[in-house]
Chains A and B, each alone.
Chain A
Amino acid sequence: MPKLTVNGIEVEVENGASVLQACEEAGFEIPRFCYHERLSIAGNCRMCLVDMERAPKPIASCAMPAADGMVIDTQSERVKKAREGVMEFLLVNHPLDCPICDQGGECDLQDQAMGYGEDSSRYVENKRAVDEKHMGPLIKTVMTRCIHCTRCVRFATEVAGVPELGAIGRGENMEITTYLEKTLASELSANVIDLCPVGALTSRPYAFVARPWELNKVESIDVMDAQGANIRVDARGGQVMRVMPRLNEQVNEEWISDKARYAIDGLRRQRLDTPYIRDKSGRLQKASWDDALAAVGAALKKAKAKGTAAIIGDQLDGEAIFAMKSLMDKIGSPHRDCRQDGAKLNPKVRASYLFNSTIEGADEADAILIIGSNPRIEAPVMNARIRRNHLMNKVAIAHIGSQADLTYPVKYLGDDIAVLEEIAAGTHAFAKTLAKAKKPMIILGNGALTRKDGAAILGRAKTIADNTKMVTAEWNGFNVLHTAASRVAAMDLGFVPGKDGLDTQGILKGANDGTIKLVWLLGADEVDMSALEKAFVIYQGHHGDKGAGVADIILPGAAYTEKDGTFVNFEGRVQRGARAAFPPGEAKDDWAIIRAVSAVINKTLPFDNAADCHAAMVEAVPHLGALDEIAPAKWAKFGTSTKLLAEPVGAGLDQFYMTCPISRASETMADCLRASKADANLMAAE
């Protein structure tokens, strides 16, 4: 480990660290544009110049490896002059349009020009003008502002795995563009907006909407996929304006998917802002909370415990699920399920429904078998990690399911699930790869688990895990990749059929043949609504989506940005989201609605505020109180050994952009879907 001196302070850094990192270690910030911790080193902006003893010229600290005995000076007059020179060159062609630039207020160039810029320009020549480029519905380009740091190019190539961005031309004519100006076909594309140190790539949906200093920033958790990406929700005057990623090395590093970032315009459309009751003519009429609650009370009484069922949705917080479970317990109904997609998960063995390797653990895996999942669209940020593992370690990856471009090469084993038998028996070539690996991983997706033989597939996967020694004291390679953000919390809380209770399929069937009289859909929009036409449906949620269409009573709830809630991601990590805006109109927190209903039917739940509700939930399931921790899960017996069905196995989701009530209401997501389809058609035509 090299030891070096920075401005008289001695620091010791990791082998392979750069001088820039050493300077940061010593507590000196180095200005930079092209350097980024998570991207390869380009060394082309020259802003990070520092003085090194015995070097004739200032050196680019980002590209210089730290070596033993170096003496670095970051504060000399020469360094300051050099950086001022670089800044002057960068500003030769950079327009002075900060007042109309969306990056204003959070612009690296603006900030660093305060430190190293001259007060006036020495140039009288015209600045160069560059044509705007088309990069799809999310990224707005003002290429005249580009300073050619190539961060976006490196991100697209290295992290997103879609090498479509590049720099054409040279010198003054250099321009960043996509090949023939196609839409950037990545689920992570909008991260280039955060990476861009100037205003060349800005957010198209957020263009000219707000200035950063007007926004109220709240740290929260994303629910668009089950990874639980850490986000910052920026709101102004009760409206969510944008979502930005928050750094969490163990979860999302500093990336989020396009859906997490841009589905939020769906929060402003098709909202349920007042209770509704369906009248005799079959029309939904606005109602007061009192009337709605009374109607719910009457309906619950009429349906009796045995005829009452509840299904919960994919984006709920733990508190809402807990409140619903408590209410169902009080009523005495065992018919409840959190698996509206019908995934055959085993609620008794926690290790059977978790991503046990953890997200960070996926970096260490040395053989990966993906079954019935397309991680690229089901958890894009996770997929980027798998890709990085492939790039760095050439990890062997095999894929069973519908064939797709996962941004890294895989050994495609077809979509016939029967191949699992061979792998379980150890006769398949990849079984040997798994057995030889030190940290093998199996990733089981919804495409496999939601099949009728899901439990049998779960059983085969367990056999493979056991046979290839995937589970040891310090490593568990058995992973389930959920698509629903609320799934693990709901499984932990036990929102599954009670004794003699019906699961989702059973409830739907019962509703159709009349044994189930009342179905309470708590944010559940993905079940087959046609089966619910005969039953009395209470829909509690935030969007007028599929569920509200069949509802007899609508109770308006809060979306994820409008409540404080506990979320558990697919690896079992407990995280807290926070309220950034209030629910619209009459809408209320979900737990509060359920608590109010409980009072109407004289089965009052024992909590009066959000804190009590949270405390009661933690009392019921203690590990939900341990924030940012993953409670250990014990490896036990699960799955069945029944026969596998001979039908092709698919993926959990078939498209990325519109998968939940919020994203289905989002115009931006609709634009993205249209653009991706148009590009797919174009490619097919060629």
Chain B
Amino acid sequence: MSIDKLIAENQPDSFAFTKESEAQIKVILAKYPKDRKASAVMPLLDLAQRQHENWIPMKAIEEIANRLDMAEIRVLEVASFYTMYNLKPVGKYFLQACTTTPCMLRGSDDMMRCIKDRLNISSGETSECGTFSLLEVECLGACVNAPILQVNDDFYEDLDYQTTGALLDSLEAGTPLPVGSVKGRQGSESEQGATSLTALKSSAQEV
């Protein structure tokens, strides 16, 4: 993908961190030695993305490069490497669907089919209403509860065709389902509840 396909066509003319972001930047920069402040590039990109409708304009990349004494291309390299950074505008709900092997085996194809049926979008596209964007990503690291759909910062797990539909409905209605397994299981516990160490349950709850 050449650079103009990678970034948004309509770029804002300027970018400035908000007051809240500035406060956080101070905290972030304090974590690294002065001559290693380039280490802060990822959290700063994240901050920029969060305050800018979930995508990073080029002006923000230049601003971050400037702050961290990095070359602009170095920041762009990082921003374009990770799928978590969006260089183009995305919908209100940014769906990241895991289709790596465990999720695929557990039915991520059904999940994807549901999204396609409901919203008529494929990976990298935004729905006509502009509310949903979809991106197929590699392993999200929650294989035990596969398949996974990440909605903005939240994981929805154990999805199938029906529950994906219900999730999309709830998002559209503005009353998202509770985060986590849609089957209601605790963490990565068995669906039938705990099968071992049941005696410890009470003490575990106390902790």
A interface residue numbers (CB < 8 A to B): 130-131, 133, 157, 163-170, 173, 175, 177-181
Contact = CB atoms under 8 A, between A and B. Distances in A.
B80 A169 contact: yes
Contacts of B71: 157, 163-164, 166, 179
Interface in B54-94: 58, 71-74, 76-77, 80-82
Contacts, number: 44
A184 B94 CA distance: 36
Contacts of A180: 3, 58
B141 to A, nearest CB: 17
B1 interface: yes
A157 B73 CA distance: 11
Interface of B: 1-3, 6, 58, 71-74, 76-77, 80-82
A169 B73 contact: no
Considering residues B2, B6, B73, B74, which has the most beta carbons from chain A within 10 angstroms of its beta carbon?
B73
Nearest to A166: B73
A169 B74 contact: no
B137 to A, nearest CB: 12
B74 A166 contact: yes
Considering residues A130, A164, A169, which has the most beta carbons from chain B within 10 angstroms of its beta carbon?
A169
A178 to B, nearest CB: 7
Contact of B73 (A131, A133, A164): A164
Contact of B76 (A130, A173, A179): A179
A90 B134 CA distance: 31
Contacts of A167: 77
A131 B2 contact: yes
A178 B2 CA distance: 11
A165 B58 CA distance: 16
B80 A170 contact: yes
13 contacts: A131-B2, A163-B71, A163-B74, A166-B74, A168-B80, A169-B6, A175-B2, A177-B3, A177-B73, A178-B73, A179-B73, A180-B3, A181-B3
A165 B3 contact: no
Contacts of B77: 166-168
B1 A169 contact: yes
B150 to A, nearest CB: 18
A173 B2 contact: no
Nearest to B61: A179
Nearest to A177: B3
A185 to B, nearest CB: 12
B81 A169 contact: yes
Contacts of A175: 1-2
B173 to A, nearest CB: 36
Contacts of B2: 130-131, 133, 175, 177
Given A175-B2, A181-B3, A163 B80 contact: no
B57 to A, nearest CB: 13
A472 B38 CA distance: 42
B74 A168 contact: no
A217 to B, nearest CB: 36
A582 to B, nearest CB: 46
Contacts of B81: 168-170
Considering residues A164, A168, A178, which has the most beta carbons from chain B within 10 angstroms of its beta carbon?
A168
Contacts of A168: 3, 6, 73, 76-77, 80-81
A169 B72 CA distance: 15
Contacts of A164: 71, 73
B88 to A, nearest CB: 14
A131 to B, nearest CB: 4
A684 to B, nearest CB: 16
B68 to A, nearest CB: 13
A168 to B, nearest CB: 4
A367 to B, nearest CB: 21
A173 B5 CA distance: 12
A414 to B, nearest CB: 24
Nearest to A131: B2
The 5 closest A-B pairs by CB, nearest first: A163-B71, A166-B73, A131-B2, A168-B80, A179-B73
